[in-house]
């Protein structure tokens, strides 16, 4: 079973626009991570936000975490064609430290 639900399932934007995707989860977490996957290859770790953090930035990425709503969002600013990929949120449970993935959001950036 998957811990996270991601929204939307798919997103198509123009190069230069921002892309926002959301993740909701069910149980208590130690941290939440975002990963990118290109065409069925391995996942690339993007950013980790701890349960006591509310916002984190890394380059063009901005992640927020609202533990009261059990939700997170990933914002990619000034998108590029190379950002075309599937993005997954993953939560680390504070009970057993298992990393559980959401279903992912497929982002297509049009040139």
Segment near other proteins (CB under 8 A); pick from 9-17, 38-46, 55-63, 71-79: 38-46
Q: Does residue 22 touch other proteins according to CB under 8 A?
A: no
Two tokens, residue 67: 């533990």
Q: How far is the CB of 35 from other proteins (least distance, A)?
A: 8
d(CA 29, CA 42): 24
The interface with other proteins within residues 49-68 (CB under 8 A) comprises: none
Q: How far is the CB of 74 from other proteins (least distance, A)?
A: 15
d(CA 6, CA 90): 10
Query: In angstroms, what CA-CA distances link 15 with 58, 67, 77?
Result: 19, 32, 10
Q: Does residue 89 touch other proteins according to CB under 8 A?
A: no
Task: Name which of 14 and 52 has its Cβ closer to other proteins.
Answer: 52
Q: How far is the CB of 81 from other proteins (least distance, A)?
A: 22
Task: Name which of 42 and 59 has its Cβ closer to other proteins.
Answer: 42
Please count the CA atoms within 13 angstroms of the CA of 32 that sit on its side-chain side. Answer: 30
Helices (H), 5-107: none
């Amino acid at each position: 079973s998957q811990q996270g639900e991601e929204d939307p399932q798919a997103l198509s934007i123009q190069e230069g626009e921002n892309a926002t995707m959301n993740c909701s989860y069910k149980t208590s977490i130690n941290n939440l991570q975002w990963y990118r996957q290109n065409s069925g290859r391995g996942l690339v770790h993007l950013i980790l936000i701890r349960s006591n953090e509310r916002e984190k930035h890394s380059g063009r990425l901005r992640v927020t975490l609202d533990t009261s709503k059990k939700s997170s969002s990933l914002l990619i600013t000034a998108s590029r064609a190379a950002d075309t990929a599937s993005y997954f949120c993953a939560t680390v449970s504070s009970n057993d430290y298992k990393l559980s993935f959401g279903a992912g959001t497929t982002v297509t950036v049009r040139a």
